[in-house]
Amino acid sequence: MKYSPHTDKDKKEMLGVIGAASSEDLFSAIPKEFRLQKLDLAEGISELELKKLMLDKAGKNYSTQKLVSFLGGGAYEHYIPQAVESLISRGEFLTAYTPYQAEASQGTLQAIYEYQSLICELTGMDVANASMYDGASALAEAVILAVKETGRNRVIFSSSLHPEYRQVIKTYLEGYKIEFVEIPHAGGLFDETALKKEANDSTACVIVQNPNFFGCIEKADKIESICHSCGALLIACVNPVSLGILKAPGGYNADIAVGEGQPLGIPMSFGGPYLGFFAVKEKHMRKMPGRVAGMTKDIEGKRGFVLTMQAREQHIRREKATSNICSNEGLMALAACVHLSLLGKEGIKEVARQNVLKSHYLKDKILKLSGFELMFEAPFFNEFVVRCGKETDKITGDLLKHGMIGGLPLGRFRADMKNCMLICVTETKSNDDLDRFAELLGKH
């Protein structure tokens, strides 16, 4: 707990500098119902008492440190080597802000360059930017790129795309005149027949999530063929860990590859901070949001790093600018960079392999239980959907009593999947965990 010695005089002076009349004025943009009105603390307690009280309150939160979790659906529990936190906590990284005098921050630029290079290698794409807020906003920015690049306004995706990503796209593009075409999934996968009917010369892009929201592995090659036959861009939204074992977006000729970088060394923590990665073919580089760091040589032939591109409104004409996405995700990009460096090519393959083996082991055990059935027959990576004989809320509630967080109930997303659960298994689970989970499910 940090000690913040701000007096009323200090606060008044700070508010005066930024032009706010009061703290209430400062936070007026946040609806009152979402603001903490008052901490329930006794007055005059000692620091020791206060620390104990706050630790007790924080201890009431559920976490994967205490419970065995089978939740996925966009945020994943992976093993993070201690070296990741140790390295990104170094003062020169932890306190670094965006390099406005960029070339004076050679260490920051090199870290960005290394991150970009690793993302390109992982996705099989030509150029990556210096990161974005999260996977959903990266996908929305990819759609904007496709709309601007093609001059078209039709965006096609499957209902197998994460429903919250769909919401973010529509919110992000509210000011654009976009026609969104959502195709119902077929057996958990993108319906290729329907895509052929919908794709036309007004289509700016086709979005394929792989693995998709149901955990199924899409037939990306076939979707690519249909997409490009009408001149649209293919956007691949991928789980980066799955690329240790699945074909990379560059391998099936995607134009843009995006995704959530949280599985790469970033812990789950109340939903953030997370990391959006964004990579493109070289021909789309100048439409890409954010920044690109490059490597060069100085006049003495020494290696150096520079900001090669930064399509931000501070630097170019506002109407030509892309979104202002910059330094706040720099530390998360560094975490991903360190994590990937520690794993190496063989390490990420091994992590992906363990995800596949352990998730399929659990699937086989669950299918032997009475009252549970697999929803989709399509191949999957580390998540799968089961239909349960009882209400999922009842099952997850019982699991919690035994120290386990069950899968993600899907009824909140789709009425036709009221008793369905999306179960995720990563390398963090032992065989004992999997056996125990199946045993508890079997009691329902």
pLDDT value of position 307:
87
- pLDDT digits over 313-349, tens only? 556 666 666 665 655 678 999 999 999 999 999 999 9
- Give the pair of three-digit tokens for residue 180: 């969104």
Q: What's the mean per-residue pLDDT of the chain? A: 92
Q: Give the position of tokens 């501070």.
A: 314
Convert the pLDDT of each residue in 96-143 to its tens digit: 766 666 777 888 889 999 999 999 999 999 999 988 989 999 999 999
- pLDDT per residue as tens digits for the range 379-392: 999 999 999 988 99
The mean pLDDT of 386-408, rounded to a whole number, is: 94
Place of tokens 């205490």: 66
Instruction: Determine which of 248-257, 309-318, 424-433 has the lowest per-residue pLDDT on average.
Output: 309-318
- Three-state SS string across 37-85, please? CCCCCCCCCCHHHHHHHHHHHHCCCCCCCCCEECCCCCCCCCCCCHHHH
Instruction: Give me 366's structure tokens.
Output: 């669950």
- Looking at residue 269, its pLDDT comes to 85
Q: Can you list the positions of beta strands (E) in 370-436?
A: 372-374, 383-388, 404-405, 408-409, 420-424
SS3 of 420, please?
strand
Mean pLDDT of 33-61: 87
Q: What tens digit of pLDDT does each residue of 167-184 get?
A: 999 999 998 999 999 999
CA-based torsion, 274, 282, 226, 231: positive or negative: positive
Cα Rg of the chain (Å, integer): 24
**Interval 399-407 mean pLDDT:** 96
Find the angle CA(94)-CA(95)-CA(100) to the nearest 5 degrees.
Answer: 120
Q: What angle do CA 340, 345, 350 make, to 5 degrees?
A: 95
Q: Are 288 and 126 in contact (CB under 8 A)?
A: no
How does pLDDT run across 132-145, given as a tens digit for each residue? 989 999 999 999 99
Supply 273's token pair.
């901070």
Q: Is the pLDDT of residue 358 over 60?
A: yes
Distance (Å, whole) CA 17 – CA 100: 23
Question: Cα–Cα distances in Å, from 85 out to 80, 266, 267, 302, 334?
Answer: 8, 9, 10, 31, 10
Question: What is the pLDDT confidence band of residue 1, given thresholds at 50, 70 and 90?
Answer: very low
pLDDT tens sequence across 175-232: 899 999 999 999 999 999 999 999 999 999 999 999 999 999 999 999 999 999 999 9
- The span from the CA of 312 to the CA of 290, in Å, is 7
Work out the percent of the chain whose per-residue pLDDT is above 70: 93
